[in-house]
């Protein structure tokens, strides 16, 4: 049982991060805090990909002397990492849009607290 | 002569009249001219199909494939021509009558009225000439939509409520029909109307057969006014009287019973009907409807509502005849489609004439009106006699065949139902006639004379037609021959 | 030959115009509308051409970016389904943008340049999602389209930014879940290419990662497609966005997401594998069915036209997803046809609501009256056409997609879903005829019939009438000639049908 947990510790970290992110988005009233939760959620997914590509004792996927290319086990899989570069860019863009919206909401209603916001909307 | 495209033209001619009607909305005379022109052309077109229909030929025209393996087909078989002939023929009478009624009543939005009417007729002829169930459904739904503006024509609260009720009933019916068609299609791979049915050789469980049949019955039964699906019809009497006359005594409701016969004779076929006892369901419902509707008719003081309940009852005569599954019974049913049409349209015309002329809607106000409107009431008497089944009016002929058909099938109960209902018919028409002829009218009748000839001529002509058909059912259009040939194709398929 | 370059040309057109519009817009602000039309117009032509090319040759075009073959490189797959969806969304976007000419002057006067730039990006995202054959690439395009749609929705009424923010939170979670699902699949198959992965999946189908991935992907895409119960973002977003945004996003956005479900359920996993571990299709079908009824009932309860249409979208998207869940040929045909039909109907209805807002300043159903019939006879005629098609009466297009869906449910002996289709048609009738009654009939309580007779016609301008007329005519033509389209859909079937 313990082995199961330890063996999948990267998965558990991902799940914990996702849970924290979800908690932030659902329970926090402040829109900025919700956005922080969103970022944590995305980071969880990104870290998952990164951990998947990690290999014990392997090196960066640049051809090195003494490590034959034919033995792929010597190299880490670069693809997930590169994918995550894109995902990080997406995350940044999302944050940008989110903050633009938040500024806009603040200018219109003068508050970022969701409850007050809903009161003012009604 | 090449008749291939005649059914298409017959469907389209009144649709083509719609733009003309809309464009001449400012000139009433021109507008009505288009209606009547379209009506006459339509009737003549259908009439050209009569000789081939009498020979038992079928004219089939595949228009386009509207869904894979499901073409839009117009098929003018004997039964289709029969129904088209009645609908288009009576449309001409109704058009003349409409002119008198609508103007006499100073109705608003007459353009919309005449335009919708034309679309209704196109849909009805489309229903008559539908070669498969999908085509039938398309025209059936078109009819529903086109009738809606006519039902709510008065735009009063009552009218709108009636319109909602009408839509609820008919749209639900359409959906059930679609479901039934879908299941049929997935079982048989075809939706063609074939005399004798398409279910032959299809594995069908009892539950499945009953389910499909109930769905079909829900689909076509609403328009056919089978209880408990009838209650839209009395409400729809909020429409102007010509609408009630043509649509709620001929086109719409007869499309329903036409559909019943198509389903029983051309989708299921008599063997399948009998095998699963489906005709018994039909017979019980129809029998109950005949009696209950006649009883309910007694309770109505509004003349049009009484006629509506009478219609409900008589529609179920037709359904009852179908359910007998005997050739003679079916002949009686088919005859009753045409004969009930001429009689009931007469009665509605009379009711409308009384309403326009004397502004009386209720039976209790009709005292002494025969003196003022002798022609109208004479026609009314003829119509009621026919519905009660008294010779020499045509209603007797069809009832005779219905009763004979029941006896042929070895069934007594339908005969008893027919007799009781005939008595009830007498019972609810007699007081009207009694009041009109033998009670003394009030002072408000003074100064009134017979209604405008636009109304009296059509209503009296249909009454005369009823008698003529009673004396010789084969007169003019060989209705009897057609009915016989339809029945024999269904029962003795080649 | 250029035919094989089509898959790349369509997104490139949008990229080009997304750059051109701000550059030229700085110099000449008036022509951004024309530029956006040019962009969508060219893309529409390309997609129409591609569709013709595909029908003639019958060959799927696989376009490898930079010549890198999959699984290393990214490919665009231009098969029948993709070509069809691309054509539909580009044509609808073109028509909607024509309509936006007048609305843009009133609803977002100072932001035209930004607006049209973002709408080009939105279309880039949608087209990319449809065309790509790579699951991660799909995520990128998904986010491009989502970020653009957050921005477009935020340009609207006072409440729009908050609605957009909520959509952003929910939408990003959806996107991330999808990405996580892709990650799981990647760990077991080692590829991201859909075609490649489809061949690998039978070997690893028993792995628990696969089923987790499937659920994550369906939930993630389901958020974007507004599959019940993940639809919460949709009503407010569509209601408070500017009329053009709703007309642009409502008919296209959820359809593209539904298309992703097509890809995942029927093409990536395929009919044989999808139900291997869990009765996935049944579960989707149940939610779709509940969504259809829920959306229709909520639509009846609304008094604001746009909000009603938004809930109606929840219901209609259910039809498409139901078609997927049936996983049989008729269901597939019904769903694909419904994508086309519903795109036209919903775009048309949102355009009418936009026109009403422009002319009357509101789109409250309670304030509709029969003066509209006199003032806007053609707009109302178009509305009636769309309404009747939504109810599903023949011979309009809406009837046929329902007909095929019904046949699909019957083929699966799924009587419950058949009943759902029938009941929801009735519910549609309730909320549309309610409006038609108001527009076409005198109100018996107010007796205002005399006034309406003297009202002058005040129809909307050509730029607004034209797209509505095209779509209304389209509904009729698609209805009558649907067999031709269905014959094309036959060629799009995934393996296993």
Q: What ipTM was predicted for this assembly?
A: 0.91
Q: Assess contact for C489 and C336: CB atoms under 8 A.
A: yes
CB within 8 A of A6, min separation 6: which ones?
A: none
Q: Searching chain B, which residue's CA lies closest to the CA of residue C406?
A: B182
Q: How far apart are CA A80 and CA C483, in angstroms?
A: 45
Q: In the Cβ-directed half-sphere of B62, how many Cα atoms lie within 13 Å?
A: 8
A109 vs C102: CA distance, rounded Å: 29
Q: Which residues contact A22 (CB under 8 A, 6 or more apart)?
A: A37, A41, C173
Chain C residues near residue B68 by CB distance under 8 angstroms: 483, 486-487, 490
Is the omega angle on the peptide bond into residue C313 within 30 degrees of 0, that is, cis?
no
Chain mean pLDDT for chain B? 83
Q: For chain C, which residues lie within 8 Å of any Cβ of chain A, measuring from their own Cβ?
A: 136, 139-140, 143, 147, 150-151, 154, 158-159, 161-162, 164-165, 168-169, 172-173, 175-176, 179-180, 183, 186-187, 192
Condensed to tens digits (0 to 9), the pLDDT of residues B105-116 reads: 777 777 888 888
List, in order, residues 6 or more apart from C241 with CB less than 8 Å away. C152, C153, C154, C155, C156, C157, C160, C163, C164, C249
Total residue count of chain A as it appears in this document: 122
What's the rounded Cα separation, in Å, for the pair C199 and C190?
12
Cα nearest neighbour of C430 on chain B: B168
Q: What is the pLDDT of residues B172-202, one digit of tens each?
A: 998 899 999 989 888 888 888 888 778 877 7
Taking residues B408-413, report their average pLDDT. 82
Residue C407 buriedness (CB in 10 A; 0-12 / 13-18 / 19+): buried
Span C27-73, pLDDT tens digits: 888 888 888 999 999 999 999 998 888 888 888 888 888 777 777 77
B297's tokens: 């008719």
Q: Which residues contact B34 (CB under 8 A, 6 or more apart)?
A: B17, B20, B21, B24
Inform me whether the pLDDT recorded for B494 exceeds 50. no
Asked if residue C289 lies in contact with residue C304, where contact means CB atoms within 8 angstroms, the answer is no
Query: With left for phi above 0 and alpha for psi between -120 and 50, is residue C327 left, alpha or beta?
Result: left
Could you tell me the pLDDT band of residue A38, with boundaries at 50, 70 and 90?
very high
Q: Measuring CA to CA, which residue among B357, B259, B253, B258 is closest to residue B307?
A: B253
What predicted TM-score, i.e. pTM, was given to this entire model? 0.90
Contacts of B92 (CB under 8 A, 6+ apart): B36, B39, B40, B43
Q: DSSP code of C156?
A: B
CA distances from B139 to A72, B131, C362, C373 (A): 69, 11, 37, 26
Cβ neighbours around B371 below 10 Å, total: 13
> What span, in angstroms and rounded, lies between the C-alpha atoms of C490 and C497?
10
Distance CA A40, CA C412 (A): 44
Instruction: Please check the confidence at residue B302 and state whether its pLDDT lies above 70.
Output: yes
Which residue of B lies nearest to C410 if distances are taken between CA atoms?
B183
Chains B and C make contact, 3+ CB pairs within 8 Å: yes
Q: Is residue B113 within 8 Å of residue B107, measured between CB atoms?
A: yes
Nearest Cα residue to C258 out of C331, C352, C198: C331
User: Are C183 and A42 a contacting pair at CB < 8 A?
Assistant: no
Which chain A residues are Cβ-neighbours of C168 within 8 angstroms? Answer: 38, 94, 97-98, 101
Q: Which residues contact B340 (CB under 8 A, 6 or more apart)?
A: B249, B311, B314, B315, B317, B318, B387, B395, B398
**Residue that wins the pLDDT comparison between C137 and B369:** C137
Token couple for B115: 């335009």
CB B149, CB B243: distance < 8 Å? no
* Four-residue CA torsion sign, A88, A91, A97, A98: negative
Give the span between the Cα atoms of B143 and B159, in whole angstroms.
18
Distance CA B229, CA B487 (A): 27
DSSP structure string for B75-136: EE-HHHHHHHHHHHHHHHHHHHHHHHHHHHTT-S-HHHHHHHHHHHHHHHHHHHTB-BHHHH
How many percent of chain C have pLDDT more than 70?
A: 96
């Amino acid at each position: 049982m313990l082995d199961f947990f330890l063996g999948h510790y990267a998965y558990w970290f991902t799940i914990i991060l996702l849970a924290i992110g979800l908690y932030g988005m659902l329970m926090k009233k402040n829109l900025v805090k919700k956005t922080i939760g969103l970022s944590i959620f995305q980071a969880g997914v990104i870290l998952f990909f990164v951990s998947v590509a990690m290999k014990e004792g392997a090196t960066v996927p640049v051809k090195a002397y003494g490590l034959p290319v034919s033995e792929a086990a010597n190299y880490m899989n670069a693809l997930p990492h590169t994918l995550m570069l894109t995902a990080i860019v997406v995350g940044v863009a999302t944050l940008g849009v989110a903050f633009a919206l938040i500024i806009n909401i603040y200018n219109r209603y003068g508050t970022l607290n969701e409850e007050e916001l809903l009161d003012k909307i009604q | 002569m090449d008749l291939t495209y005649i059914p298409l033209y017959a469907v389209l001619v009144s649709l083509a009249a719609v733009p003309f009607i809309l464009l001449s909305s400012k000139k009433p005379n021109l507008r009505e001219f288009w209606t009547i022109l379209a009506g006459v052309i339509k009737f003549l077109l259908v009439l050209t199909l009569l000789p081939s229909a009498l020979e038992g030929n079928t004219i089939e025209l595949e228009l386009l494939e509207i869904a894979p393996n499901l073409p839009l087909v117009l098929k003018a078989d004997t039964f289709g021509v029969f129904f088209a002939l009645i609908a288009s023929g009576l449309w001409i009478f109704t058009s003349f009558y409409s002119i008198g009624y609508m103007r006499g009543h100073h109705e608003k939005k007459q353009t919309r009225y005449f335009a919708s009417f034309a679309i209704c007729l196109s849909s009805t002829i489309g229903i008559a000439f539908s070669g498969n169930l999908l085509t039938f459904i398309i025209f059936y739904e078109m009819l529903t939509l086109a009738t809606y503006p006519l039902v709510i024509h008065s735009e009063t609260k009552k009218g709108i409520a009636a319109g909602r009720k009408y839509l609820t009933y008919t749209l639900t019916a359409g959906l059930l029909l679609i479901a039934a068609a879908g299941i049929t299609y997935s079982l048989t791979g075809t939706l063609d109307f074939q005399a004798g049915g398409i279910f032959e050789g299809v594995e069908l469980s009892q539950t499945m057969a009953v389910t499909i049949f109930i769905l079909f019955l829900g689909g076509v039964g609403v328009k056919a006014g089978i209880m408990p699906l009838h209650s839209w019809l009395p409400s729809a009497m909020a429409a102007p009287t010509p609408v009630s006359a043509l649509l709620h005594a001929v086109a719409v409701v007869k499309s329903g019973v036409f559909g019943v016969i198509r389903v029983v004779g051309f989708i299921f076929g008599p063997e399948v009907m009998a095998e699963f006892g489906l005709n018994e369901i039909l017979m019980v419902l129809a029998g109950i409807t005949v009696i209950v509707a006649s009883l309910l008719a007694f309770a109505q003081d509004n003349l049009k509502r009484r006629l509506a309940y009478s219609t409900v009852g008589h529609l179920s005569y037709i359904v009852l005849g179908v359910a007998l599954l005997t050739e003679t019974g079916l002949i009686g049913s088919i005859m009753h489609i045409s004969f009930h049409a001429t009689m009931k349209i007469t009665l509605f015309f009379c009711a409308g004439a009384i309403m326009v002329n004397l502004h009386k809607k209720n039976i209790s106000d009709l005292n002494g009106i025969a003196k003022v409107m002798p022609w109208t009431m004479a026609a009314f008497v003829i119509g009621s006699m026919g519905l009660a089944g008294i010779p020499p009016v045509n209603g007797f002929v069809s009832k005779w065949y219905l009763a004979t058909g029941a006896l042929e099938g070895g069934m007594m109960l339908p005969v008893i139902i027919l007799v009781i209902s005939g008595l009830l018919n007498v019972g609810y028409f007699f007081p009207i006639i009694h009041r009109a002829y033998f009670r003394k009218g009030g002072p408000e009748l003074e100064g009134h004379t017979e209604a405008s000839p636009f109304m009296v001529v059509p209503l009296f002509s249909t009454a005369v037609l009823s008698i003529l058909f009673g004396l010789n059912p084969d007169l003019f259009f060989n209705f009897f021959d057609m009915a016989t040939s339809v029945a024999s194709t269904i029962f003795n398929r080649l | 030959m250029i035919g094989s370059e089509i898959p790349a040309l369509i997104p490139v057109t949008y990229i080009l115009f997304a750059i051109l519009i701000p550059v030229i817009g700085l110099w000449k602000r008036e022509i951004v509308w024309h530029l956006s039309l040019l962009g969508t117009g060219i893309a529409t032509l390309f997609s129409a051409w591609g569709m013709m090319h595909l029908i003639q040759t019958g060959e799927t075009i696989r376009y490898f970016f930079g010549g890198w073959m999959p699984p290393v490189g990214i490919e665009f797959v231009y098969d029948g389904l993709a070509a069809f969806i691309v054509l539909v969304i580009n044509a609808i976007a073109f028509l909607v943008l024509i309509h936006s000419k007048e609305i843009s002057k009133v609803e977002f006067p100072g932001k035209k340049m930004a607006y049209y730039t973002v709408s080009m990006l939105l279309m880039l995202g949608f087209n990319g999602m449809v065309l790509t054959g790579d699951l991660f690439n799909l995520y990128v395009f998904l986010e491009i389209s989502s970020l653009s749609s957050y921005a477009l929705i935020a340009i609207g009424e006072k409440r729009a930014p908050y609605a957009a923010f909520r959509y952003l939170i929910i939408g990003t979670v959806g996107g991330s879940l999808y990405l996580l699902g892709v990650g799981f699949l990647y760990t077991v198959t080692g590829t991201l290419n859909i075609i490649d992965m489809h061949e690998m999946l039978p070997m690893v189908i028993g792995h628990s990662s696969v089923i987790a991935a499937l659920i994550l992907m369906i939930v993630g895409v389901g958020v974007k497609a507004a599959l019940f119960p993940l639809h919460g973002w949709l009503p407010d977003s569509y209601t408070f966005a500017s009329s053009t945004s709703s007309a642009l996003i409502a008919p296209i956005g959820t359809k593209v997401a539904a298309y992703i479900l097509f890809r995942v359920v029927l093409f990536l996993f395929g009919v044989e594998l999808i139900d291997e571990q869990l009765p996935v299709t049944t579960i989707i079908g149940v939610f779709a069915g509940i969504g259809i009824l829920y959306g229709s009932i909520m639509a009846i309860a609304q008094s604001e036209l746009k909000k009603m249409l938004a809930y109606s979208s929840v219901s209609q998207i259910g039809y498409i997803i139901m078609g997927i869940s049936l996983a049989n040929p008729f269901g597939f045909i019904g769903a694909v046809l419904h994508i086309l039909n519903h795109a036209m109907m919903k775009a048309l209805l949102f355009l009418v609501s936009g026109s009403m807002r422009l002319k009357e300043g509101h789109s409250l159903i309670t304030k509709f009256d029969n003066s509209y019939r006199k003032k806007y006879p053609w707009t109302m005629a178009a509305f009636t056409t769309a309404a009747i098609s939504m109810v599903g009466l023949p011979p309009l297009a809406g009837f046929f997609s329902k007909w095929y869906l019904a046949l699909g449910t019957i083929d699966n002996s799924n009587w419950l879903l058949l009943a759902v289709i029938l009941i929801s048609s009735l519910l549609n009738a309730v909320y549309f005829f309610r409006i038609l009654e108001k527009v076409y009939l005198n109100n018996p309580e107010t007796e205002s019939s005399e006034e309406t007779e003297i009202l002058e016609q005040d129809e909307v301008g050509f730029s607004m009438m034209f797209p509505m007329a095209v779509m209304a005519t389209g509904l009729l033509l698609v209805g009558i000639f649907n067999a031709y389209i269905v014959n094309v859909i036959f060629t799009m079937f995934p393996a296993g049908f």
